[in-house]
Amino acid sequence: MVDLEDGPGSPFKGKVSDFIENHHWKLPNVRSPLLQRIFEKIRDIKIPLHACEDMCLWSLSSDGSFSSKSAWEDIRSTNPKVPWATLIWNKKLQPRASIFGWRMAHGKLPTDESIQKRGIALVSRCSLCGVEVESMDHIFLQCSFAEGL
Ligand SMILES: [Zn+2]
């Protein structure tokens, strides 16, 4: 069953077979750009020459069956995969280590410096060397304690 509307007062209702004539699509002219795109897709569908049963096919899977995974993969937005993703999201790591790595890669570790950037007045001193302000760069790269590791 088809139930489409191309603006007020111009509904298209009927069976799919109502839009087929002599094994060709007989689709009405429409104003709606969305319907025009849908009809273009429909015209690409080959009409079988022999009689067969109608069936529902999910175009996002190879066997035509619906899965919520394939629907989710189609609608979700994804960012390009970063090269370090497999290092962090590794089954050999404990989840807390993965999350720590993700937070470190995104500069989201709760250092004194990041807390100060949120407007909280805080006197900071690296707890390892006791000399510099505690920041991510200092802890992992510049601290004399880190250099010794
Ligand atoms: Zn330090």
Q: What is the Cα–Cα distance from 124 to 27, expressed in whole angstroms?
A: 72
Res 15: pLDDT: 80
State pLDDT tens for residues 21-80: 988 999 988 888 998 999 999 999 888 888 778 788 898 988 999 999 999 999 998 888
Q: Find the 91 Cα to ligand 1 centroid distance in Å.
A: 31
Is the pLDDT at 87 greater than 90, yes or no? yes
Overall pTM > 0.85:
no
What is the CA(133)–ligand 1 centre distance, in A?
A: 8
Give SS3 for 3: strand
Q: Tell me, in angstroms, the distance from the centre of ligand 1 to residue 10's CA.
A: 73
Would you list the DSSP string of 11-79? EEEE-GGGGEETTEE-PPP-S-HHHHHHHHHHHTSPPPSS--------TTSTTS---HHHHHHHHS--P
- pLDDT tens digits for 22-32? 889 999 888 88
The CA 126 to ligand 1 mean position distance, Å, reads: 5
Q: 107 CA distance to ligand 1 centroid (A)?
A: 17
pLDDT at 105 over 80: yes
